[in-house]
Structure 1
Amino acid sequence: MPDVVLLDHGLVAEIRLNRVAARNALSSALAEELTAAAEAVRGTAARAVVLSSADPAAFCVGADLKERGGLTDAGFMAQRLVFRRAFAAVRELAVPAVAAVHGHALGGGYELALCCDLIVADETAVVGLPEVRFGIVPGGGGTQLLPRRAGYGVAADLILTGRHVRAAEAARLGLIDRLVPARTDHEAATELADQIAANSPVAVANARNAIRRGLDTDLAAGLDIEDSAWRAAIFADDRREGVRAFIERRRPDWPG
């Protein structure tokens, strides 16, 4: 049984964490499979991705500390490269990604969610970056992605205390994007991905690129990035089809 499964649902692909017996704990093998699955999305027709869990009780409990307990220093460094590739593969997916979170999403598990563009979590969700409690620093992007999402103070609170945060507080602090009833995270995340996939892939790609690049610059430079994105979209066939479809009162058939 693979630790990660890639499901092709047409315009929406699903990357499903499938190491259920270990609560999807991140082993080297799972990380390698995750990298392969994320890279394989490029070979599909997907315009959005859902990152989900096959475990009904948890999204991902973080790194496999049992596996790490047997690693030498050299083993840690080798695993580090494997893990960095996996997180980067999710973060650099060519299309928007939506995490469907329930139960525990801790450490590297929450960092996987942070690598996605949007996080949908149900009322059972518990998120956190508890690495400092084990003498470790978040290494899947948490120290960089969380302050960009929720601000310095919230990020410092979570990272420096290592505390766990339940769903309602997570929504209030901006640690997740949408809070939904228990056991509906997968459905809600899929609906959100469907909404994204229904839009112009050219416009979505350029808008997403503008948002991401703009985070790392000042307003004036960000507005120039936006202008470039606007120009790329306005001269594309998708824009022409979008206008025609509006006039003809039909759904667009995006050339992409």
Structure 2
Amino acid sequence: MPVTTVNAPGPALRGLLEDDALALAEHVGRAEEELAGLPRPGLRDEDLRQFAASLVDSCRRARTAFLHRHAPAVYDALTDRRRKPLRLAGLARAAAERFPGLVPTDDQMTEEATRAQADKEGREIDQGIFFRALLTDPSVGEHLLDSMLAPTPRALDLLSDFRAAGRVDLGSVLVERREDVAHLTVNNQHCLNAEDNRLIDDLETAVDLVLLDDQISVGVVRGGVMTHPRYAGRRVFCAGINLKDLHAGRISFVDFLLRRELGCLNKLMHGVLVDAAPDAYPQRTLHKPWLAAVDSFAIGGGMQLLLVFDHVIAADDAFLRLPAAQEGIVPGLGNFRLSRMTGARLARRVILGGRRIRATDPEAALVCDEVVAPEAMDAAVEKAARELAAPAVVANRMMLNLADESRDGLRRYLAEFALVQARRLYAADVMAKVGRFSAPAARQSADGEHAP
């Protein structure tokens, strides 16, 4: 078994970007050659698994050291000194081309996408290292946050038609303007509105359209009526991350787990960027109030969504839960936001212990503003939307959110989240758990995070 790459020290970094980039590329290239000679992960015995882990670890330490020295210069090279804003996927692609060995190439990620999660090389961890370094730097992180707050190209392409028609079906999200209220209906029918790559794309596009349409004053998000046998004819808010897709390797770290937080949820909380100029007048971002209507349950990512809404109405037979720790992953920004609402002790019971909060529990009042009978939901939503349309609501909710969640605190959390979540995706306990949860006989067979 070759040992030169494993036992050799990392590349000698001397502080010059191009020289250090070349040294990194050579080090990673040697390791990749040895890795390519091994069986795929699922076919390796214990000795080969340890050898492959040593190869990969050597490269990750080298990437971390390189980025510790050069993250701002790397970012400037990729964005033409920050004159060319790039979203997450564009940054990863540009980095692979400009700095070989720093992040996975498109071909490597395409190959990974053909494999189940447990049979991947874990190249998304290398993306986590990259984005952690960028977000750790205050100036770079601020610029990247702005880039992710800008409207998506897809939303800009659809905006004129949406303004004219007042309706667009994005696939898993239906957006309808009724007078000055936008109703976003989540229709990911096959999995009880569990979150997958498509839903994250559709939801961010929908949020952009609502924020950019000047005929809309308020946005409402509600789950659609299900066709799934267990909930046929009933509305469901969200069953959390689609564990079946996670087990099959179809949940993207960049396009789902990071994009969700820096894009869709960040826009719900802090608005959409319409003018990147630091001296923009009257402001750089557009804001609108948001209302969530929770039918049946808000599990995992569904409960995380509630933490960025201005008003939450729940049916009295609904419940809330954040079971990510039981799956072994991090519940997005739930750790960052929940304790502000519930206090630290309850937040720990919910996140670390999987505490379920029923809408009728006293603790539900810390997350939900109203709890009504299921048959009263429509009227409650209409009434609350009218109240949120009051002229001063936009300015005050913007200032409340700024007071609750500083950009610097958000950036620092996201930096650590980028790497921690990437590593958890490939942890042995997570692989075992999602495999069990995705089995046909699993109790949560709805595909989401422990959907009942």
TM-score bracket for the superposition, by shorter chain length: 0.7 to 0.9
- Aligned residue in 1 for 2:257: 80
Quick one: structure 1 residues 59 and 216, their matched pair in 2 at CA, closer, same or farther if it must change by over 3 Å? closer
Query: For residues 259 and 362 of structure 2, what CA distance do their matches in structure 1 show?
Result: 29
- Give the one of 172, 184, 192 matched to 1:15: 184
Q: Which amino acid aligns with 1:147?
A: S
1:93-104 mapped onto 2 (5 Å cutoff): 93=271, 94-104=287-297
| 1:130 CA drift (Å) | 0.5
Residues 342 and 367, structure 2, Cα contact 8 Å, conserved in 1: yes
Query: For residues 178 and 365 of structure 2, what CA distance do their matches in structure 1 show?
Result: 32
- Aligned residue in 1 for 2:240: 62
State the secondary structure of the residue aligned to 1:176.
coil
Deviations 1:118-155 (A, max 9, x none): 1110111110111011001111x211221111211221
Runs of 4+ in structure 1 deviating by more than 4 angstroms, as ranges, are: 170-173
- Aligned residue in 2 for 1:207: 396
Identity over the aligned pairs, expressed in percent?
27
Query: For residues 303 and 362 of structure 2, what CA distance do their matches in structure 1 show?
Result: 12
Residues 338 and 347, structure 2, Cα contact 8 Å, conserved in 1: yes
| 1:156 CA drift (Å) | 1.3
| 1:172 CA drift (Å) | 4.6
- Aligned residue in 1 for 2:359: 167
- Aligned residue in 2 for 1:152: 344
| 1:4 CA drift (Å) | 0.4
Query: For residues 109 and 119 of structure 1, what CA distance do their matches in structure 2 show?
Result: 12
Aligned residues: 212
- Aligned residue in 2 for 1:25: 194
| 1:60 CA drift (Å) | 0.3
Deviations 1:192-248 (A, max 9, x none): 011221x22xx222211222222358xxxxxxxxxxxxxxxxxxxxxxxxxxxxxxx
Query: For residues 127 and 49 of structure 1, what CA distance do their matches in structure 2 show?
Result: 21
Query: What RMSD, in angstroms, separates the aligned Cα atoms of the two structures?
Result: 2.1
State the secondary structure of the residue aligned to 1:6.
strand
Query: For residues 178 and 154 of structure 1, what CA distance do their matches in structure 2 show?
Result: 20
Say which one has the larger Rg.
Answer: 2
Gaps of 5+ in 2: 1-168, 226-233, 272-286, 407-452
TM-score normalized by structure 1?
0.76
Query: For residues 186 and 113 of structure 1, what CA distance do their matches in structure 2 show?
Result: 18
Gaps of 5+ in 1: 218-256
- Aligned residue in 1 for 2:204: 35
- Aligned residue in 2 for 1:180: 372
TM-score normalized by structure 2?
0.44
Query: For residues 48 and 107 of structure 1, what CA distance do their matches in structure 2 show?
Result: 25
Residues 28 and 83, structure 1, Cα contact 8 Å, conserved in 2: no
- Aligned residue in 1 for 2:318: 125
Q: Which amino acid aligns with 1:207?
A: N
Q: Which amino acid aligns with 1:102?
A: D
Query: For residues 189 and 379 of structure 2, what CA distance do their matches in structure 1 show?
Result: 19
Quick one: structure 1 residues 21 and 148, their matched pair in 2 at CA, closer, same or farther if it must change by over 3 Å? same
Q: Is 1:190 aligned with 2:382? A: yes
- Aligned residue in 2 for 1:143: 335
| 1:160 CA drift (Å) | 0.9
- Aligned residue in 1 for 2:217: 47
- Give the one of 256, 269, 272 matched to 1:91: 269
